[in-house]
Amino acid sequence: MRVLFRSGAVPDAVPDEVALLGLRRVLVLCDDHGLDTARAVAASLGDACAGLHAGAVTHVPVEVADLAVEAAREARADGCVAVGGGSVTGLAKAVALRTGLPIVAVPTTYAGSEMTPVWGLTEGAVKRTGRDPKVLPRSVVYDPLLTLTMPPVGSATSGMNAIAHAVEALYAPDSTPIVALMAEEGVRALAAALPEIVADPSGHDARSRALYGAWLCGACLGATTMGLHHKLCHVLGGTFDLPHAETHAVVLPHVLAFNAPAVPEALAALSRALDVPDPVRELHELGERLGIPRSLANLGLTAADVDRAVDVALGAPYANPRPASADELRAVLHAAWAGERPYGG
């Protein structure tokens, strides 16, 4: 994987990366919100652009993936350029999973999906995930200027989603000292940058530091096994169609509070990164200061949905430093649903 990080990298860098990979006909993927940026990237590619497909949606429904695969085949594409956030990268991964086409990722949010070999598809209200090296992008072009179009709340939820990747990586069963260093630094960078972005969305320096943090957090996710936090968020997204980043932002402090007794080293690392004695409290209150949703109820989940979410979560195994019974999962999800403080009080 090649990673290029430079303000103003687009439009010249993407054609260069496509050429380095020997690609001659690439399909540019995006969602409806990122059409303008994707069109600019497509124009920069000239004759190497075989078409633009704007069909990406959250959680990558299989029928949406099918349409993208068909578009790639009709265009006789030999690669994909994903311009957007995690949904767009996820769609490119679905295409790569079926076709083997290489991906050039151009992130415009702090999702971090571009740094992982993890794919996800939703079918029949169930989100399945897996790992395959062929879905890992071959090149990633980070241009902080592309994140300037994210509104403050969108930036904040995207950044909290990235922080969640690093938090779980700190206590993953296959974490390493290098991953722990990257996770701590990623959390530190994002937690400092996000309030500045909310205060001044046009600030280039804060945007750059946030994207740097997201890069690190995404790499941590790609190197480790996902646990309870990601499992619950996949259930909430795939089964109930809750928004991806917002769901991660709400659930994060609640799962961390549950796991806290079993992960003292992870808590110590987060305390250093956040410069606070209680990282659970700080992550919850950081969300409040950033003005992002603090409850799953605000995202559309009903109280009756909590029991179904518990049942779905119990139906598939996941790694976690502390086992969770049905009642304990219900308590975690109910607290997140109600927007309770995970640290009491």
pLDDT of residue 344: 66
User: Fold match between 2-147 and 150-338?
Assistant: no
* Residue 297 confidence (pLDDT) above 80: yes
Quote the CA–CA distance of 190 and 186 in Å, as a whole number.
Answer: 6
3-12, 59-68, 81-90, 265-274: least confident range: 3-12
**Beta-strand pair 26-29/49-53:** parallel
* Residue 331 confidence (pLDDT) above 80: yes
pLDDT of residue 295: 97
Q: How confident is the model at residue 83 (pLDDT cuts 50, 70, 90)?
A: very high
- Average pLDDT over the chain reads 96
* Residue 345 confidence (pLDDT) above 80: no
pLDDT of residue 178: 97
* Residue 136 confidence (pLDDT) above 60: yes
Q: What is the mean pLDDT of residues 3-8?
A: 94
pTM of the model: 0.94
Q: How confident is the model at residue 318 (pLDDT cuts 50, 70, 90)?
A: confident
What does 232-269 look like in DSSP terms, one character per residue?
HHHHHHHHH---HHHHHHHHHHHHHHHHGGG-HHHHHH
Please state the domain extents for the chain: 2-147, 150-338
Homologous superfamily of the 150-338 domain (CATH) = Dehydroquinate synthase-like - alpha domain (1.20.1090.10)
According to the CATH classification, is domain 2-147 in 3.40.50.1970? yes
Q: Say which amino acid occupies 244.
A: H
171-185, 267-281, 286-300, 308-322: least confident range: 308-322
| pLDDT, tens digit (0-9, with 9 covering 90-100), for 24-54 | 999 999 999 999 999 999 999 999 999 999 9
